[in-house]
């Protein structure tokens, strides 16, 4: 039952590049608020922003053997997504594995567990979004699987899905929906740029979004402090 | 029952400025250790330090409509304080709302929920103290209230209260007590400067604070490792 | 029953210096994955890395009196290790105590509770690993003990034990084992440097560690996406 | 600044009795979803249901001295509401204090901290809603206050407010609003009884609440599995 | 995008009945340790044990409108599985909805959020496994979906999947695998009964499972206290 | 380094029996508030109360092999104390192991991890205090140790120490101190019985403990509601 699936289809390189300038919040909105991982997934250093194809790794608690197996399946532009089969705060990953992944062009790691050597990883500029930071090591005793569907931090990830991560968190876009999400995100971004300019000049969202009528209809009332 | 209270009285500008150089820990001590929010309220970037008058916003879980309403009530020197009526980790606030608030001279945001676009907010130098960072969006469907008393992260906040936030957390000073707390904080700060200088030169707190007698009276004993 | 033990034996200065270049993850591995504190112990600023002899302080919840007592027992090269007798998020420690410790050559603080004045501590470059950051003050009313064995963040610490802390967390090495752990850590580090170079050049861990046979023996199977 | 306020006005006995048959969920709804404590406040045994006037106690972390002070201020029909000034999981309260309170006719305890002797308290049928169960004792070293306004588990409690607690949690009704909330809760309860009967007979909420049109207007679509 | 999928295929009644005598731990083992929800999913009363077909409901945070929609899709033998699109501790469900579901033969509720009226639900013997108990109500303002795949407490649930819940937690069995998992679980149960009898008579697992050799091979050593 | 220590000295049977009637809170007080495990250690059913000698088991995360090894080392009157080397919520223990332990006269299990089959364990009246309840299984791949000192839920446990557990939690008494703790606990219990009787009759703790003078000296003031 432990399997490594090879030759998973990836998101097209051009599509990935187009996503690289889009933030997680924008993409998450553009795909109707689905695919977001839980907010406890935090970057080990701020400012990183990556987009790539998921290579998924289902690992036993406290056992990182399958990450070693997964390295071989990675291609340039991939992002490793690791989820333990039950909650675990061990440090599954450090600078040795990062060296290996970086040499293969892997963009970063998403792991719902712990990571270590965070100083070295920061110096190497190998970004990681993890639930924990921990020096606690793992064993290599039990199998898991590579490139199977899994749930990571509450989000379903299929191998080859697009993963985007920045300081706001991590979002997964199903491979079949990347084109439509991209179009929607770009449109959203353009619209927001225009709105931002107007808001920055002092125009009120209440007016810009024409909210006043709906608020009044719901029963919102205003009163001055004096009658309070 | 959903109400926006206008023309709330603020803390005097001069008083606020005087507070701006005082840290949260000092102010919290100066007002007898009251008014501190829970330690899970963390800044999205380090080094920010603000003091201003609270504009309070009571919001439903996962619904940020009232923040849009609150913007209109803000003045230069205000700080927006947002609390959901039940626990919520959604990202209520991003760079669009920040643009709007910044254009009105608002100093920052305190929110017992989530915030997003933290990279942009950091670049804009719009400081936020929040419980969560999350790209998860909210809806605009249900009313709340602006400028009503509320509990945020365990602290009672009345509209117009003074709010101070720095890397140590967030503290609320009731408007009526700002003068006395200011005096007390200044005095405390002066005293601490003198103490710090003596401690930095190697004088022991045990002597400086004259603790030895009280410790002995309580029964503290010393022994060398040999008799251990 | 409240006692201060004086003249605790420390780890030899030369040994400490040898440890100072070794990371927590390496040391933790070198001593067979023992002695690590829980991952909720986080540094107040990143990049700090210290190694020193533990001066232990057992404190009541919300009472920092004994830290003042402990200062007198500190020597250059020591690290203060503070654990409350029940869980507490108060800010036991700020820049005054740090000035005092720094004047005595103490390298840093490990505390399974809260710390405050983190901006000043960062400016002073006095590193702290703590469970919480909180401006909430403590009292000076109840005794504890200095230089007794205690459990801090799940790790047993005896006075005089070696403590090492970096961005990955905090690890304790029993004083009697420092020599053997040092030798083992150095060996490990050398080995890892060689491995890292090979991995960085693209060699697979699967081959380098000769894992393929063991994986196959456990039943790992490979298949292409098509047969999935 | 540590004060005991005597002769606080209570909710009228008749009003309290009328509330005793109403559940927390109903009352919370009846007062427009305000006043609920956080869901981590759990009863030490199931099935208890109390309503009474709040005697509030603000206590230092890990110090239960003021609970002893508060006992003297209690009358039959009161409920003790205890909140520490910073988070604490110590066991502030056990069967001795319960004996004392029970002899004065106090109905139960609400405490945002720990409680102990839960087996005895259960045998005595003295109900407690607490955040923690812990045998860890407290000291009697620092003052607090009795019958001052405080925040307990996120809810503002003024002395003399009505407190209602059952298996769903704890709710606070401001004393001035007890009459209107009572009327509203009773009406709600009657309405719910009628609705419950209809639902139990198989009528759909969709029809009973006439939701179908609003759902369609929002864009809800139905499709059969085949077209999925 | 908000959709209700009708006529979802269920697990066969006979298969469900066969599962009803099997515990969650056994089933989880029988399907190779997949499909288990996180351990924070707890029953509101102990002793309940249900197996049925999942009707899934994806709900916005703090909005239970779609549960009303879902009721109509339920059949006898179903179990409602509800997951919010972001974390929420509100009480989505109480005795009115339970009356409605019970009248349709629904066996219970699994919800990664809060539930209320737990006393009534217990009296009705309508079992619920939830993350929270909370009297906090929800709104009916935003759509979600019924009978779409969702992630609940870390487990992927497809509509029509088999759900089993008991005092140990909640497990999901994909509909296509129910037959094989059932066979495996029955076999496991029989084997365990035999093992249990031998263990209860004092036979050691070390011998019964023939572990001694493998332990020795791994390097396990025995020594008496004296040489310790 | 993986070792099983045999023939550990136990606490004398008579002493254990004398402890069996004493509650955890009393014992914890009697030994000066040391040795208490963290309050997240909860019994799987209420009302159990055990006292016995600790057989300690240090286990890897998600690996219960060593529990099987430990069974052989158990004698009537023992209590198994299990701590993972890093945090883990897996279900290490179920009714098979309980059958084995019960056949050897073991009184119960203390585990800072998960347990499963809680319904069967409850029916068997085999009490467990655990951090989690989880059906998630473990592997048998990596060694640990039996009867070595370990930290469990924040408390240091040496093999052969006395462990007492009841509804308030779990407390450890070092074997060398059992006699003195027993004497102190008995004295405390007697004193409390007398106090309880007086309090139950309405005498105030303020008078009984003669607190009024100390409170006044600290500055406690009383005022009536009118002057508030």
User: F36 CB near a chain C CB, below 8 Å?
Assistant: yes
- CB-CB under 8 Å, D89 with C89: no
Residue-wise pLDDT for D57-83, tens only, equals 999 999 999 999 999 999 999 999 999
Confidence of residue E225 (pLDDT cuts 50, 70, 90): confident
**Share above pLDDT 70 across residues of chain C, in percent, rounded to a whole number:** 99
Closest chain A residue to E86, measured at CA? A38
Chain D residues close to F224, C-beta within 8 Å: 5-7
What is the C-alpha separation between E170 and A208, in angstroms, rounded?
47
Up-side HSE of residue A79: CA atoms within 13 Å toward CB? Answer: 29
Residue of B154, B155, B180, B214 to mutate when probing chain D, most D C-beta within 10 A: B154
Chain A residues close to B132, C-beta within 8 Å: 39
Q: Kindly tell me if the per-residue pLDDT of C86 is higher than 60.
A: yes
Q: Phi-psi bin for A7: left (phi > 0), alpha (psi -120 to 50), beta?
A: left
Say which of F34, F36, F151 has its CB closest to residue C154. Answer: F151
Q: Kindly tell me if the per-residue pLDDT of F134 is higher than 50.
A: yes
User: Across residues C119-127, what is the average pLDDT?
Assistant: 98
User: Across residues E19-48, what is the average pLDDT?
Assistant: 96
Residue-wise pLDDT for C8-20, tens only, equals 999 999 999 999 8
- CB-CB under 8 Å, E119 with D23: yes
Residue-wise pLDDT for D103-139, tens only, equals 999 999 999 999 999 999 999 999 999 999 999 999 9
User: B154 CB near a chain D CB, below 8 Å?
Assistant: yes
Average pLDDT, chain D: 96
3-state helix, strand, coil in chain D (%, to 5): 35, 30, 40
User: Across residues E59-88, what is the average pLDDT?
Assistant: 97
Residue in the block written with tokens 């000076």 = C140
**Share above pLDDT 90 across residues of chain E, in percent, rounded to a whole number:** 97
CB-CB contact of E37 with E171 (8 Å): yes
Closest chain B residue to E59, measured at CA? B62
Confidence of residue F226 (pLDDT cuts 50, 70, 90): low
Closest to C168 measured CA to CA, from C42, C4, C34, C14: C42
- CB-CB under 8 Å, F1 with C33: no
Closest to B11 measured CA to CA, from B166, B129, B159, B183: B159
Q: Kindly tell me if the per-residue pLDDT of E34 is higher than 70.
A: yes
User: Across residues D12-31, what is the average pLDDT?
Assistant: 95
User: F135 CB near a chain E CB, below 8 Å?
Assistant: yes
Backbone φ, ψ for residue C68 (5° rounding): -60, -40
Element holding C102 (H helix, E strand): helix C95-103
- Chain C nearest-CA distance from D157, in A, is 22
What is the C-alpha separation between C204 and A67, in angstroms, rounded?
11
Closest to A175 measured CA to CA, from A20, A21, A31, A23: A31
Higher per-residue confidence, E58 vs B226:
E58
What is the C-alpha separation between D166 and D162, in angstroms, rounded?
14
- CB-CB under 8 Å, D156 with B155: no
What's the pLDDT score for residue A228? 44
Confidence of residue E228 (pLDDT cuts 50, 70, 90): very low
Residue-wise pLDDT for F16-26, tens only, equals 999 989 999 99
What's the pLDDT score for residue C225? 84
What is the C-alpha separation between E83 and E95, in angstroms, rounded?
19
Q: Kindly tell me if the per-residue pLDDT of B97 is higher than 50.
A: yes
Average pLDDT, chain F: 96
Confidence of residue F62 (pLDDT cuts 50, 70, 90): very high
What's the pLDDT score for residue E1? 75
User: Across residues C59-73, what is the average pLDDT?
Assistant: 98
Residue-wise pLDDT for E185-217, tens only, equals 999 999 999 999 999 999 999 999 999 999 999
User: Across residues C45-56, what is the average pLDDT?
Assistant: 98
Q: Please report all neighbours of A, defined by 3+ CB atom pairs within 8 A.
A: B, C, E, F
What's the pLDDT score for residue E8? 95
pTM of structure: 0.97
Residue-wise pLDDT for C139-197, tens only, equals 999 999 999 999 999 999 999 999 999 999 999 999 999 999 999 999 999 999 999 99
What's the pLDDT score for residue C67? 98
User: Across residues E74-92, what is the average pLDDT?
Assistant: 97
User: Across residues A161-171, what is the average pLDDT?
Assistant: 98
- CB-CB under 8 Å, C6 with B223: yes
- CB-CB under 8 Å, A116 with C222: no
Residue B120 in tokens:
């942009």
User: Across residues C70-91, what is the average pLDDT?
Assistant: 97
- Chain A nearest-CA distance from F83, in A, is 15
User: Across residues C37-55, what is the average pLDDT?
Assistant: 98
- CB-CB under 8 Å, D156 with B151: yes
Residue-wise pLDDT for B128-153, tens only, equals 999 999 999 999 999 999 999 999 99
Confidence of residue A225 (pLDDT cuts 50, 70, 90): confident
User: C62 CB near a chain D CB, below 8 Å?
Assistant: yes
User: Across residues D146-161, what is the average pLDDT?
Assistant: 98
Q: Kindly tell me if the per-residue pLDDT of E74 is higher than 60.
A: yes
What's the pLDDT score for residue B225? 84
User: A54 CB near a chain C CB, below 8 Å?
Assistant: no
- CB-CB under 8 Å, E8 with D39: no
CB-CB contact of E43 with B67 (8 Å): no
User: C135 CB near a chain B CB, below 8 Å?
Assistant: yes
User: C85 CB near a chain F CB, below 8 Å?
Assistant: yes
Q: Kindly tell me if the per-residue pLDDT of E123 is higher than 50.
A: yes
Chain A residues close to F139, C-beta within 8 Å: 60, 141-142
According to DSSP, residue D116 is labeled -
Residue A88 in tokens:
């675990």
Residue-wise pLDDT for F143-156, tens only, equals 999 999 999 999 99
Q: Kindly tell me if the per-residue pLDDT of F228 is higher than 50.
A: no
Up-side HSE of residue F45: CA atoms within 13 Å toward CB? Answer: 19
According to DSSP, residue B191 is labeled H
Closest chain B residue to A30, measured at CA? B137
User: Across residues F151-170, what is the average pLDDT?
Assistant: 98
What's the pLDDT score for residue D226? 67
- CB-CB under 8 Å, E5 with D199: no
- CB-CB under 8 Å, A155 with E149: no
What's the pLDDT score for residue C228? 44
């Amino acid at each position: 039952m432990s399997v490594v699936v090879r030759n998973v289809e990836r998101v097209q390189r051009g599509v990935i590049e187009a996503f690289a300038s889009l933030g997680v919040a924008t993409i998450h909105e553009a795909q109707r608020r689905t695919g977001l991982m839980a907010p406890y997934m935090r970057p080990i250093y701020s400012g990183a922003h990556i987009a790539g194809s998921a290579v998924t790794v289902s690992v036993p608690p406290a056992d990182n053997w399958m990450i070693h197996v997964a390295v071989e399946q990675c291609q340039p532009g991939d992002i490793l997504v690791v989820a333990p089969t039950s909650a675990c705060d061990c440090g599954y990953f450090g600078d040795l594995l990062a060296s290996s992944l970086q040499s293969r062009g892997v963009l970063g790691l998403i792991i719902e567990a712990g990571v270590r050597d965070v100083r070295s990883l920061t110096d190497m500029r190998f970004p990681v979004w993890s639930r924990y930071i921990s020096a606690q090591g793992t064993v290599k005793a039990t199998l898991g699987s590579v490139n199977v569907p899994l749930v990571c931090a509450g989000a379903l990830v299929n191998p080859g899905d697009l993963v985007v991560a920045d300081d706001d968190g991590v979002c997964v876009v199903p491979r079949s929906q990347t084109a439509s999400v991209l179009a929607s995100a770009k449109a959203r971004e353009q619209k927001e740029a225009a709105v931002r300019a107007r808001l920055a000049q002092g125009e009120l969202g209440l007016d810009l979004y024409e909210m006043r009528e709906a608020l009044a209809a719901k029963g919102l009332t205003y009163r001055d402090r004096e009658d309070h």
